[in-house]
Amino acid sequence: MSGRLAGKVVIADVLDDAGAALAAEVGEAANYRRTDVTDENAWRDLADVAEKRFGPVDILVNNAGIGFFKTVIDTTNAEFERVLSINLTGVFLGIHTLAPRMVALGHGSIVNMSSNEAMRGVNRLGAYAASKWGMRGLTKVAAMELGHKNVRMNSVHPSGTDTDLANPLHKSADELQPTYTIQPIQRICKPREIAAVCLFLASDEASYVCGSKFAADGGSSIGRYRGALPGNPDRAVGII
């Protein structure tokens, strides 16, 4: 996109339906390509398809991710490896495939979708938190290696956002509200609010932002309300 007002996008997902439907809705400026982010060859194909359809790629948003709730003791090796392969190796492969092309192009921006679980510890999310902390570290190193080549990289750290991952039962924002009273902005995040942060980081508006961990978490990572102390909102009983 780089300074221009409109971009063209290739949407990639391991599932066909939602991504293909979204690309169809967007129209000529979008394309869909089924891609498993753990597969290096699939990344190469994706990059080639994107270049052929729209020209050189100068933005990558590494967004694919999975997670589950289990204690570290109960998590199997296969489950742990599966989360790391998608959430961390997938990001590595995306950078590994597209960053050299951006360097050759002379500019680029990569946005890695981490989590507020990479800002702290949380019970029953060991594999997920490990993958997101790993991504945060990978972002810092790659930003150092690529920033002086005019390719910026940053990580985004959302808290609960209204998608299948965090709201599988598709409850309303009002129904979910009580679980968000522990953070300053006391509601679930809208996906559009995270997209806006990604758009900013991808654009030239963020030309001096490199290697940052960008919290978009309603303030959940800055601290938590203590019920017994002054300044605590009445309803601060949530769990997020």
User: Which residues are part of the catalytic machinery?
Assistant: 128
Does 38 interact with ligand NAD (rule: CB under 6 A)? yes
CB 146 within 8 A of CB 153: yes
Cα–Cα distance for residue pair 199/59, rounded to 1 Å: 10
For residue 94, state whether it binds ligand NAD (rule: CB under 6 A). Answer: no
- Residue 164 engages ligand NAD in binding (rule: CB under 6 A): yes
17 lies in the binding site for ligand NAD (CB under 6 A): no
Q: Does 142 bind ligand NAD (CB under 6 A)?
A: no
Per-residue mark of binding to ligand NAD, 46-85 (x: CB under 6 A): -----------------xxxxx------------------
Of 34 and 107, the one with the shorter C-beta distance to ligand NAD is 34
Is there binding between residue 166 and ligand NAD (CB under 6 A)?
yes
- As a whole number of angstroms, the distance between CA 49 and CA 54 comes to 8
Please name every residue paired with 60 in a beta bridge, in sequence order, or none if there are none: 110
Which residues in this chain contact ligand NAD in the complex, by CB under 6 A? 13-15, 35-38, 63-67, 86, 113, 115, 158, 160-161, 163-166
